[in-house]
A and B are shown apart, each in its own frame.
Chain A
Amino acid sequence: MSEDSKKAETVEEKPYKPSSPSSKLDFDGFWEYDDAPQNADHVEYEDQYDLFIGGEFIAPEKGRYFDSLNPATEKKLTSFAEATQQDIDKAVKAARKAFDKSWSTLEAKERGKYIFRIARLIQERAREFSVLESMDGGKPIRESRDVDVPLAAAHFFYYAGWADKLDYAFPGKKAEPLGVAGQIIPWNFPLLMLAWKVAPALATGNTVVLKPAETTSLTALKFAELCKDAGLPDGVVNIVTGAGQTGSAIVNHDDIDKIAFTGSTEVGKIIKKSLAGTDKRYTLELGGKGPNIIFEDAPLDQAVEGVINAIFFNQGHVCCAGSRLFVQEGVADTVIQKLRDRMETLIVGDPLDKNTDIGAINSEQQYNKINEYLEVGVNEGANMYQSSCQIPETGYFCRPTIFTNVGQSNRIVQEEIFGPVLTVQTFRTAEEGIEKANNTPYGLAGGVWTDKGSKIFKTGSKIRNGVVWSNTYNKFDPTSPFGGYKESGEGREGGLHGLYPYVKLQ
């Protein structure tokens, strides 16, 4: 922890009282954590980045650039080009040319080899990517190092192998590529979401125009360098930076065959609407309000660890975050107490410190949004509890927060906050728990905690979610399909199922 953070303001809530002298995990009293900063000296990045189109970095037509901040310091990190309609035209043309001339005529096994190369190059440069991811997006280095970057490499490695095996993926059908895929990704897992989008698209023989989120474009442009290093034919991957308007230029481009979007449900609906009446295919991976259900017979300590991971992983900037906790009445008090105890031990602060559990909120805009929701929660009559940890004075940081005494209709229960904010409700019967869990327009992911196998399968089958984590949470793997029911999206990413959105079946 830095000196600054020691001076952070005190908590406004009731003073923290452990239920019994032994129940508090009082690390503070016994342990002082030294700073454990990840060395960032070897990591290089430019002051300004151009667009990556047709295998080259080129300046945007209108010459406009925008700054990208490090959310932990609020200081400028670098700046990105703003791609406008003409730039998107160029990128789509380059992608189309690459599709027609090189990529679709290349033998499938050779296509696969390029993708394997990309996987290897990411592994070789893993530390550099992790550091940049944490600097640009604010996530703890431990997460970018152990989750984001290795998983991104694994994704390319997995899909590389599919390139020449597509005949086995769709029984009775022949899979053909769609053409040019327009891909728009969010700021919560910048490189990983890029991998989720680019790997299956390339493996199935498509070329891509990808737009990273405006606050987290750095690793995408580093990835562009890596594509060059891999010798990937020009135009197979094009990376264009910009905000909503740039994205809209991609969505509405006539020569794009498929749109893949990950982001909010609100924007997802706008995209779906803009595609109305066209032949463009699309996949949408949207918001969520994941239920996490703890039954009385669950291993409670394990469940509490799971809840912590479910909501505080990546500052809660996770579409599948377990943001609604449902605890069976008999163990509710115990669980809430254990949860508070565990929250006290979380370290909020410098994303580049290896001890940090919760890094910086990704942007000022998101920081303000979370704080608005905290206010809404309190105004709606819920009880707010925040851990008493110190937070740095500069940068966008938010204490881990739980709300109890909330009802189904509370906004903080219904709306996606996308921050380290958990609501806690109780239930008596399994039916009640399931009904409450399903009482939302979302349906992305959820958790079930119980020691009883039959209960896991019954509850799991009743929850209307694309992913069910039983006695675990927030696990991801390239072989495992991911995606939502209801208003959490359409289509799956990952696994064999993740090939389907990028092919036409003849």
Chain B
Amino acid sequence: MSDRIEVLKTYKTYVGGNFPRTESGRYYKVYDANENILANACQCSRKDVRDAVVEAREAQPDWNNRSAYNRGQILYRIAEMLETRKAQFIEELETIGYKTKKAKAEVEASIDRLIYYAGWSDKYQQVFGTINPVASSHFNFSMPEPMGVVNIWAPEDRPLLGLVSVMAPVIVGGNTCIILASEKYPLSAISFAEVLNSSDVPDGVVNILTGFRDELLEHMTTHKDVNAFFYTDPDIDQEQRKQIDENATLNLKRVRRKPVEDWLSEKAQSPYYITDFQETKTTWHPVGL
């Protein structure tokens, strides 16, 4: 054994392709399974949310303009990068109490989920788009289009798989997002940001914040330049649920509440998670000589 002192990682946030600390300068302690301090995570503020929305909004048109093929490859690239760092993520999950087997299963399922959605990138349009046989002399078709910017609460448990499962269907459809990581276990999310950062995901497409849901709920649900809000925890407090819905009326934000009990199940993935964050655009054009 050498006497070498280990270099510890500072966990920050991921906004616009950078890793800034919260502008508020606040932190909260994250513990491992034995109640030892693991890290000082950023306790993000309203300003952090707003900064992230600016980045996400700016990134959205370009991300949407990428070809579906290209978006699919980028999602696939995330999976490749995650595969090569499997060990790191398994270890990170172990520190918060996962048994090795369970940690391995979660990381592998996360990789597979990314591949699943990567494959959908150029297919959901064909499955869910329609050509409409209107009675008049017009060519008429309806296609899915991304809603825009989506605010997401990553599931509180399954800190990696949950995060990947809510992120992938949102971005594969051309949206950009701001994800609030699991409050109790935020570290996998920030490590995952490092994966995103090395996977050709354009800056600002995925932004990851850490902090307290209670504090950020209002800012994430009232922001008028955000098109949708997505959360999945089955046991959310009724008062909070109501608050989310009420705040969303401000700009008719689409609220998607999809309680998921088991993220490892096949049921936790489907193209309907993609279409939940799509609008339908119908185009008419006259047919004639």
Taking Cβ atoms with an 8 Å cutoff, the residues of A that contact B are 154, 171-173, 265, 268-269, 272-273, 275-277, 284, 286, 441, 456, 460-461, 465-472, 475, 477, 479-483, 485-487, 489-490, 492, 495-497, 505
Contact present for A275 and B245 (CB under 8 Å): yes
In Å, the complex CA distance between A446 and B157 comes to 44
Closest A residue to B244 by CB, please name it.
A276
Closest B residue to A173 by CB, please name it.
B272
Closest B residue to A270 by CB, please name it.
B249
Choose one: A273, A441, A460, A466; the contact of B279 (CB below 8 Å): A466
Contact present for B284 and A480 (CB under 8 Å): yes
Chain B residues in 8 Å Cβ range of A468: 281-284
Shortest Cβ gap from B221 to chain A (Å):
11
Shortest Cβ gap from B53 to chain A (Å):
16
Shortest Cβ gap from A496 to chain B (Å):
6
Contact present for B252 and A490 (CB under 8 Å): yes
Choose one: B243, B248, B282; the contact of A480 (CB below 8 Å): B282
B280 within 8 A of A: yes
Choose one: B127, B246, B281, B285; the contact of A467 (CB below 8 Å): B281
Chain A residues in 8 Å Cβ range of B283: 460, 467-468, 470
Choose one: A268, A272, A479, A490; the contact of B132 (CB below 8 Å): A479
Shortest Cβ gap from B15 to chain A (Å):
25
Q: A273-B249, A460-B283 are in contact. List 6 more A-B contacts (CB 8 A).
A: A472-B138, A475-B284, A479-B133, A481-B132, A486-B227, A486-B252
Asked if A268 meets B282 with Cβ closer than 8 Å, knowing A154-B135, A276-B246, the reply is: no
Contact present for B249 and A480 (CB under 8 Å): no
Chain A residues in 8 Å Cβ range of B246: 273, 276-277
Closest A residue to B248 by CB, please name it.
A272
Asked if A475 meets B138 with Cβ closer than 8 Å, knowing A468-B283, A480-B132, the reply is: yes
Contact present for B245 and A470 (CB under 8 Å): no
Choose one: A269, A475, A483; the contact of B249 (CB below 8 Å): A269
B10 within 8 A of A: no
Choose one: A269, A276, A456, A489; the contact of B285 (CB below 8 Å): A456
List 7 interface pairs A-B (beta carbons < 8 Å), by A numbering.
Answer: A273-B245, A273-B246, A275-B245, A284-B252, A477-B132, A479-B135, A480-B142
Closest A residue to B252 by CB, please name it.
A487
Asked if A277 meets B245 with Cβ closer than 8 Å, knowing A268-B252, A460-B283, A505-B272, the reply is: yes
Contact present for A272 and B280 (CB under 8 Å): no
In Å, the complex CA distance between A284 and B251 comes to 13
Contact present for A466 and B138 (CB under 8 Å): no
Choose one: B142, B270, B285; the contact of A495 (CB below 8 Å): B142
Shortest Cβ gap from B150 to chain A (Å):
14
Contact present for A481 and B272 (CB under 8 Å): no
Chain A residues in 8 Å Cβ range of B127: 171
Mask: chain B, 135-176; 1 = CB below 8 Å from A; 0 = not = 110101010010100000000000000000000000000000
Residue tally, chain B, CB below 8 Å to A: 37
Chain A residues in 8 Å Cβ range of B265: none
Closest A residue to B140 by CB, please name it.
A480
Chain B residues in 8 Å Cβ range of A492: 280
Asked if A481 meets B248 with Cβ closer than 8 Å, knowing A154-B135, A472-B138, A472-B286, the reply is: no
Choose one: A171, A276, A470, A490; the contact of B242 (CB below 8 Å): A276
Shortest Cβ gap from B236 to chain A (Å):
10
Taking Cβ atoms with an 8 Å cutoff, the residues of B that contact A are 127, 130, 132-136, 138, 140, 142, 145, 147, 227, 238, 241-246, 248-252, 254, 270-272, 279-286
Contact present for A467 and B282 (CB under 8 Å): yes
Chain A residues in 8 Å Cβ range of B251: 441, 486-487
In Å, the complex CA distance between A11 and B284 comes to 38
In Å, the complex CA distance between A492 and B249 comes to 18
In Å, the complex CA distance between A422 and B104 comes to 63
Chain B residues in 8 Å Cβ range of A272: 245, 248-249, 252
Shortest Cβ gap from A261 to chain B (Å):
12
Contact present for B280 and A172 (CB under 8 Å): no
Chain B residues in 8 Å Cβ range of A497: 130, 142, 280
Chain B residues in 8 Å Cβ range of A487: 251-252
Contact present for B280 and A481 (CB under 8 Å): yes
Shortest Cβ gap from A171 to chain B (Å):
6
Top 9 nearest A-B pairs (CB, nearest first) are A277-B242, A276-B245, A477-B134, A479-B132, A276-B246, A272-B249, A470-B285, A480-B132, A273-B249
Shortest Cβ gap from A214 to chain B (Å):
24
Contact present for B284 and A472 (CB under 8 Å): yes
Chain B residues in 8 Å Cβ range of A284: 252
Chain B residues in 8 Å Cβ range of A472: 138, 284-286
Shortest Cβ gap from A139 to chain B (Å):
20
Shortest Cβ gap from B131 to chain A (Å):
9
In Å, the complex CA distance between A490 and B227 comes to 11
In Å, the complex CA distance between A268 and B145 comes to 23
In Å, the complex CA distance between A486 and B135 comes to 29
Closest A residue to B241 by CB, please name it.
A277
Choose one: A173, A481, A490; the contact of B282 (CB below 8 Å): A481
Choose one: A172, A269, A475, A505; the contact of B252 (CB below 8 Å): A269
In Å, the complex CA distance between A269 and B145 comes to 23
In Å, the complex CA distance between A165 and B116 comes to 29
Closest B residue to A505 by CB, please name it.
B272
Shortest Cβ gap from B138 to chain A (Å):
6
Asked if A495 meets B132 with Cβ closer than 8 Å, knowing A276-B245, A481-B142, the reply is: yes
Shortest Cβ gap from A344 to chain B (Å):
26
Chain B residues in 8 Å Cβ range of A268: 252
Shortest Cβ gap from A252 to chain B (Å):
14
In Å, the complex CA distance between A273 and B249 comes to 6
Choose one: B130, B135, B249, B270; the contact of A477 (CB below 8 Å): B135
Shortest Cβ gap from B127 to chain A (Å):
6
In this complex, which of B145, B246, B248, B284 has the most chain A Cβ atoms within 10 angstroms of its Cβ? B284
Contact present for A471 and B280 (CB under 8 Å): no
Contact present for A470 and B284 (CB under 8 Å): yes
Shortest Cβ gap from B207 to chain A (Å):
22
Chain A residues in 8 Å Cβ range of B133: 479
